[in-house]
Amino acid sequence: MSRLEEKTIKTEKIFSGKVISLQVEDVELPNGKTSKREIIKHPGAVAVLAVTDDNKIVMVEQYRKALDKVIAEIPAGKLEPGEDPEVCAERELEEETGYGCKEMDWLISFYTSPGFADELVHLYIAKGLEKKEDAASPDEDEFVNLMEVTLDEALALLEGQKIHDAKTAYAVQYLQLQEALKK
Amino acid sequence: MSRLEEKTIKTEKIFSGKVISLQVEDVELPNGKTSKREIIKHPGAVAVLAVTDDNKIVMVEQYRKALDKVIAEIPAGKLEPGEDPEVCAERELEEETGYGCKEMDWLISFYTSPGFADELVHLYIAKGLEKKEDAASPDEDEFVNLMEVTLDEALALLEGQKIHDAKTAYAVQYLQLQEALKK
């Protein structure tokens, strides 16, 4: 088993924005040579697989500038500084969909792009959904359409690449697995 | 159904590196107001769920500077300009693991971080693995340890967050689903 770690020799901060920051690190490789690593820092995020009492998945249809495309995703959002992921999951679910929930359980946390970014997504499953009095109220620069779809409909959306992101693909496959395990 | 698209008013290029580039776009929102979007451009990548004849998953243990952590991932790598994803999948599998394969089938493509990046990962499943004469030869700044694990071992690695990224979590869950569907 060889040593794999890379030691940072120098860090150059390139950009600090409202969502991400970028730095380039000069690193010493395991063989003593040097290389550069381009690294995006991200505050981390939560995503919520919210399932209604009649077994529908709550999704938000949303334009993503990075993709120049409207896709359907499970509700998600960035962590505020110091925010507990479960609290964030409840907040994002209510802000984007208007739903509160009786149960919010952690499923998995994964890094989305370990090659260049430290973004960690915490995925939760929400059940016992209840519409709150007030409607959904996304961030002021966030525009979404709500959808509620069956598992079969979600699989068709995946097939048509309307669902097209890793966290949502994982969440839909999770439900498929639960269905298969029931049989 | 409301309009969701955002129109780019101005693009400021911040950084162009060997893996990613960064630009900030001033956009016009659906309500006529303006906002800024921080966007990472990435060439796209492939990942390969390679399964041996005795049903083990081939994984690479690798240090990720962005996470400052060694994790176990399925073999993966960036697309060269104009490269066909399936050709890239065969190339990366051989470079990182020394394996060629008789079958390489596309499973899914997903965006990893649609909120800020256009990275699209194409996931393939490889079967009929055969060690090539020459050993694995990763890129000159890439150091990896090979692992071959059963599905149960992969699930334990996930539990212990040694497997900790989205594409690998998806791939392991994919195999779990196939096992469940067999029963």
What is the Cα–Cα distance from A164 to B44, expressed in whole angstroms?
A: 14
Facing residue for A143 by CB, picked from B30, B67, B158: B30
**Partners of residue B20 in chain A, C-beta under 8 Å:** 38, 40, 116
What would the 3-class secondary structure string for B12-78 be? EEEEECCCCEEEEEEEECCCCCEEEEEEEECCCEEEEEEECCCCCEEEEEEEECCCCEEEEECCEEE
Q: How far is A67 from chain B (nearest CA, A)?
A: 6
For the cut 90, the answer to whether the pLDDT of residue A141 exceeds it is no
User: Residue B143 and residue A17: Cβ atoms within 8 Å?
Assistant: no
pLDDT tens digits, one per residue of A105-132: 999 999 999 999 999 999 999 999 999 8
Sheet holding A7-16, edge to edge: A7-16, A21-28, A34-41
pTM exceeds 0.90 for this model = yes
For residue B124, pLDDT beyond 60: yes
Biggest CA-to-CA distance, chain A: 61
pLDDT score of A1 more than 70: no
User: What residues does each domain of chain B span?
Assistant: 7-41, 45-110+121-182
Whether the per-residue pLDDT at A140 is higher than 90: the answer is no
Mean pLDDT of chain B: 95
Q: Which one is catalytic: B92, B140, B153, B179?
A: B140
Neighbours of B61 (CB within 10 A): 18
Q: How confident is the model at residue B3 (pLDDT cuts 50, 70, 90)?
A: confident
Q: CA dist B18 to A39, B22, B121, Å?
A: 11, 12, 18
HSE-CB for A45 with a 13 A CA cutoff: 25
Percent of chain A with pLDDT over 70: 97
Task: Using pLDDT thresholds of 50, 70 and 90, give the confidence band for residue B133.
Answer: low
Q: Which architecture does CATH list for B45-110+121-182?
A: Alpha-Beta Complex (3.90)
Q: Is the dihedral of CA A116, B174, B160, A44 positive or negative?
A: positive
* pLDDT band (50, 70, 90) for residue B138: confident
At residue A139, does pLDDT exceed 90?
A: no
pLDDT confidence bin for B2, thresholds 50/70/90: low
CA-CA distance, B136 to A144, in Å (whole number)? 46
Q: How many CB atoms lie under 10 A from the CB of residue B103?
A: 11
Amino acid B92: pLDDT = 96
- The 10 Å Cβ neighbour count of residue A43 is 15
Mean of the per-residue pLDDT values of chain A = 95
Q: What is the pLDDT of residues A61-114, one digit of tens each?
A: 999 999 999 999 999 999 999 999 999 999 999 999 999 999 999 999 999 999
The ipTM estimated for the assembled molecules is 0.96
Does residue A157 surpass a pLDDT of 60?
yes
Residues of chain B with Cβ-Cβ distance to A121 below 8 Å are 166
Mutate one of A113, A164, A179 to test the B interface: name it (highest B CB count within 10 A). Answer: A113
The DSSP element (H or E) to which B7 belongs, if any, is strand B7-16
Selection from A42, A44, A39, A118 nearest residue A76 by Cα:
A44
Could B112 and A113 be called an inter-chain contact, meaning their C-beta atoms sit closer than 8 Å? yes
Q: What integer pLDDT is reported at residue B135 of this predicted model?
A: 64
Report the pLDDT value the prediction gives residue A68, as an integer from 0 to 100.
96
Q: How does pLDDT run across B39-89, given as a tens digit for each residue? A: 999 999 999 999 999 999 999 999 999 999 999 999 999 999 999 999 999
Q: Which of A83, A164, A163, A90 is nearest to A125 (CA)?
A: A90
A29 Cα to chain B: minimum distance (Å): 7
Strands, E assignment, A120-168: 120-131, 144-149
**CB–CB contact A66 B118 (8 Å):** yes
Residue A137, pLDDT score: 74
Is A135 a residue whose pLDDT tops 90? no
Residue A65 is nearest to which of B6, B109, B166, comparing CB atoms? B6
Contacts of B43 in chain A (CB under 8 A): none
Residue A39 three-state SS:
strand
The pLDDT of residue A134 is above 70: no
Residues of A in contact with B113 (CB under 8 A): 42, 66, 112-113, 117, 119, 165-166
Find the catalytic residue in A5, A133, A140, A159.
A140
> Of all residues in chain A, what percent carry a pLDDT higher than 90?
91
Q: Residue A140 catalytic?
A: yes
